[in-house]
Structure 1
Amino acid sequence: MQKSLSSLMIALAFASATAPQAHAASNEDVVKRHFASLVAGPTPKTSELQMFLTMMPKGGDLHHHYSGAIYAEQYLEWVDKQGFCVNKTDFRINTAAGAKSASCVSGKDLVADNAAYRALLQKWSTADFYNHSSGKQLPPDQTFFDTFGYFNDVASTNGSEGLQTLKKRAIAENLSYIETIYEIAPITPDGDFDKLAAEGFDNARLNAALEALVPKLEASQAFQQGIQNYLAHLQKASAGVDDEQFTMRYQPFVLRFLPPSMVFSQMLASFKLAKTSPQIVGVNIVGQESLNVSMRDYSLHMQMFKFLKAKYPDVKMALHAGELALGVVPPEGLKFHIQEAVNVAGANRIGHGIDIAHESNALAIMKTMRERRIPVEVNLTSNEFILGVKGPAHPLDLYRKYGVPFVISTDDAGVTRHNLSNEYVLFATRYKTDYAEVKKLSYDSIRYSFLADADKKRLLQQLDSRFSKFEADIARALLPAK
């Protein structure tokens, strides 16, 4: 018996040594353990996380402003291409012919003046805000939103070059999809509607006024020409952007602080654009939410979206909502924005969603968002800079606790001078997470995109292959050579 047992043990040992390693750690297991080691302890290994997350495949960036994604350096190149100049006193672009002088210089000359160049970066972006102070420094939210006024004159002049730059930068950090908020929707004002709005609307009166305004706009040559011009501009700028490595889709945007007729004309144009072009996958409303007009007309805007959503039920909406914090507006201003974006307008995604803890029915709203699978677009860098909200004060963990889906996105990476990989680093270093969740976020950024189903399936299959290669490369680098 003892001899038989010994022989069996020897045979099992031999079989174990010579058989395929069925239980060897998979590449994914190796990467999971490695990632856990990077985030373990009181001080995450930030530099190695940066390398890891830059290498890691990232599906999409779903909250992305085209004009805010271009860096100031490229805008200065466009100043020269257009023959404009930049005033060295206030750093405004002068578009007048023959305006160049000792005080209004080319972009190239401005860059050559180190002091002026540094001062321009502080106006055209958030550069140096926290490591430099002066008596002229504005509050962070005003600093952020003011940047767009400086480079606006060249923001739309070189769309093809701009999109190609963003594509190249995205591929360099292993990002395969951008859904960019691209170009303001056409504006067609109507004074009669604005007079009615000033008198105030109940829902029935508003719907009647909108029913009358729609055919009026549709009959307007300016309105129709605006739509055609937008499509032509987009088609020209986006030519050659999509390929096997990279895909981009577009959202026209509405400015929320304009008069009501302008806002609605932009909304209607946006819905029509989304129905006309497969490249345009959704509509959005943008602009500083805390401004007086933005706050005053917020509920009116949500009712306008509700009206148009009923007419265009297939058009997706990703609405900026709840980009507010305590003290930015009176407390009652924090009570309803996300709720109305979800339950009145019918938003498919929520941009920012920072004030959720202050909303009157926060638990009910999050339950609805969980059940309807309405994700929050989380923008950690801009939330911190604009609102001063970060770490445990950010509602990210609140959304996670109540099962609300979310995606990691950049917002305006050119203005705040970062990239999507850095947003993942902030998430990994500030919030308790693991590799499985980070990997899921990459997939979710495709799942919750507004892409057509065939495109979504294609990018998800590519993501499978890209993660397989990434995990094999990481495992090979970590495991001892055989």
Structure 2
Amino acid sequence: MREFFRELPKGGELHNHLSGAVSTEYLIGLAADDSLCVDTSTMTAVAPPCGPGTRPAADARTDRAFHDAVVRAWSMQDFPEGGNGHDHFFATFGKFGEVTWRNRGKLLAEVADDAAEQRQFYLETMVSPASGGAKQLAADVGWDENLSDLHSKLLAGGRLDRLVAEAGTEADDANARFRAAGRCDTDTPRPGCRLPVRWISQVSRGSSPERVFTQLALGMRLAERDGRFVAVNLVQPEDGERALRDYSLQMRMIQYLRGVYPDAHVTLHAGELWPGLVKPEDLSFHIKDAVGVAGAERIGHGVDLVHEDDWQGTARSMAAKEVAVEVPFTSNAQILGVRGADHPFETYRRYGVPVVLATDDPGISRVDISHEYRYAAETYGLSYAELKDVARASLEYAFLPGASLWQGNPTRDGHRFTRACAGSHPGARPPAPECRTFLAGNAKAGVQWRQEAALREFERTFRPGRPWTGPRAGA
């Protein structure tokens, strides 16, 4: 089973925070390489020199007890059952943040390698572009309830465009470091070098309104001007005091900016909530407004669906608009304690909402995407055909440019090749000239073709004497 799920072609990774995606052991190694220190009272990485109350991160290479203490502080390793996973999970980012901001390119090389080795064909990962500059611009401009006027102030004097240029320079540097770490321009490239990667600009929803708006405007302007950036997303705990207070305002911000930047994509963490974590009224509308007001094209987590007002209407709307939900099972269990029958995974599928599996922060969670697919199969009794549909959905709803390989709505209508490639057989023989031209001009279809070829090879290799239908639910 372990080999089966590892080798299963699993589409793309659409919900991934770069800073939380690499293994804690790798972060410790980077901290040591950068001569960072660890505050022993909080287990937080800090810049050198190492003064009183700190230890060199390099000590973790020789002191096993210290190493294990850092791993537990920076991840969910050995976290006690029934403990406050929510607070511990989100606190880890601040503990290793001094490591991650210095090493974006190296982190990307690790994450891309892992995705490729896990038999994925595409990666979208979240970062905070030009974070310092955006914070300063927001402080300089201040808040204005008239969003059009506020946007004009950001544009004045070319200041927002300078942030776009700064973010582009950051991406250039990260890409160069990624290619160096991945040996991409040598005769021995690492697996991640062949993986298409796009950035999603993350926005700190717990920040002041002017900072949230500035980060949103920057991310959406980037997505229209730099093909490496495709979308924006709100991050940080959705149950935070300011995040709850400003939720409706932030949805209106996105609604306004979508009118200014119609080609920028939007995927939103929404419904990462559960009864007892927030007041009942805060459970009643987040997914609905993310879809209906902000116009989100994908929803991350969406765990509290059935606790919302008219949740059936929201589910039907998501299905009709093909708004996919990104499901990271382990993250939902660790942060919210939601698993198994309590999770709305089956409800989304019953209503025809496209569902994709994701890892969220696999380094913190100590899992990989193969684990998430196996969990889905064992917990919900998914057949191989259903697992294949989930994998295909993760490419169908990726923010890659170009047309899809599939006709119509594959969640509703099934998977039929588009006319140009009808009758083609990925992996069996080269595409016909018309199909080859279509694939070359549509990046999304090109990646989907690669997955279909991999699925054919996988089925040839793993096909038993009779079709594999998946384990029984609960097995």
Give the TM-score category using the shorter length.
0.7 to 0.9
Aligned equivalent of 1:70, options 22, 25, 30: 22
Partner SS for 1:451: coil
What RMSD in Å do the two structures reach over aligned CA positions?
Answer: 2.1
* Bigger Rg, which one: 1
1:356-367 aligned at under 5 Å gives the runs 356-367=305-316
Q: Deviations over 1:106-130 (max 9, x none)?
A: 2221232222221111111111003
Q: 1:125 is matched by which residue type in structure 2? A: S
Equivalent in the alignment of 1:144? 89
Q: 1:438 is matched by which residue type in structure 2? A: L
Q: Which has the larger displacement, 285-294 or 224-233? A: 224-233
Equivalent in the alignment of 2:371? 422
- Aligned 8 A contact 2:13 2:123 in 1: yes
Aligned equivalent of 2:296, options 328, 342, 347: 347
- Aligned 8 A contact 1:88 1:116 in 2: no
1:276-315 aligned at under 5 Å gives the runs 276-315=225-264
- How big is the shift at 1:416? 0.5
- How big is the shift at 1:283? 1.0
Q: 2:263 is matched by which residue type in structure 1? A: D
- Structure 1 position 238 matched with structure 2 position 189: no
Q: 2:71 is matched by which residue type in structure 1? A: L
Q: Which runs of 4+ in 1 moved over 6 A?
A: 241-244, 476-479
- Structure 1 position 83 matched with structure 2 position 35: yes
Q: Deviations over 1:178-219 (max 9, x none)?
A: 11112355332247744x6xxxxxxxxx4xx11111121112
Q: Deviations over 1:200-242 (max 9, x none)?
A: xxxxxx4xx1111112111256544332221111122124479
Equivalent in the alignment of 1:433? 382
Change (3 A) 1:166 1:441: same
- Structure 1 position 127 matched with structure 2 position 77: yes
Separation of aligned partners in 2, 1:307 and 1:191: 21
Equivalent in the alignment of 2:59? 109
Aligned equivalent of 2:395, options 446, 456, 480: 446
- Aligned 8 A contact 2:59 2:66 in 1: no
Q: Which has the larger displacement, 229-238 or 284-293? A: 229-238
Separation of aligned partners in 2, 1:127 and 1:234: 31
- How big is the shift at 1:279? 1.0
Change (3 A) 1:361 1:413: same
Q: 2:78 is matched by which residue type in structure 1? A: D
- Aligned 8 A contact 1:100 1:106 in 2: no
Partner SS for 1:189: helix
- Aligned 8 A contact 2:35 2:58 in 1: no
Equivalent in the alignment of 2:361? 412
Aligned equivalent of 2:68, options 108, 118, 126: 118
Partner SS for 2:14: strand
Partner SS for 2:216: helix
**What TM-score do the two structures reach when normalised by structure 2?**
0.83
Partner SS for 1:340: helix
Separation of aligned partners in 1, 2:193 and 2:55: 41
- Structure 1 position 158 matched with structure 2 position 103: yes
Q: Which has the larger displacement, 54-63 or 112-121? A: 112-121
Partner SS for 1:354: coil
Partner SS for 1:119: helix
Q: Which has the larger displacement, 106-115 or 260-269? A: 106-115
Partner SS for 2:229: coil
1:196-345 aligned at under 5 Å gives the runs 206=145, 209-219=146-156, 223-239=160-176, 240=179, 245-345=194-294
Separation of aligned partners in 1, 2:270 and 2:347: 16
Q: Deviations over 1:226-266 (max 9, x none)?
A: 32221111122124479884211110110000000000000
- Structure 1 position 52 matched with structure 2 position 1: no
Equivalent in the alignment of 2:425? none
- Aligned 8 A contact 2:141 2:153 in 1: no
Q: 2:216 is matched by which residue type in structure 1? A: M
- Structure 1 position 456 matched with structure 2 position 413: no
Equivalent in the alignment of 1:471? 459
5+ residue gaps, structure 1: 1-47, 197-205
Q: 2:45 is matched by which residue type in structure 1? A: I
Task: Tell which has more relative contact order, 1 or 2 (C-alpha 8 A, sep 6+).
Answer: 1
Separation of aligned partners in 2, 1:262 and 1:244: 34
Partner SS for 1:129: coil
Partner SS for 1:386: helix
Separation of aligned partners in 1, 2:399 and 2:22: 23
- Aligned 8 A contact 1:66 1:183 in 2: no
1:151-190 aligned at under 5 Å gives the runs 151-184=96-129, 185=131, 186-187=134-135, 188-190=137-139
Partner SS for 1:384: helix
Separation of aligned partners in 2, 1:452 and 1:224: 23
Q: How many residues align?
A: 412
- How big is the shift at 1:478? 9.0
Change (3 A) 1:173 1:445: same
5+ residue gaps, structure 2: 185-191, 403-441, 468-475
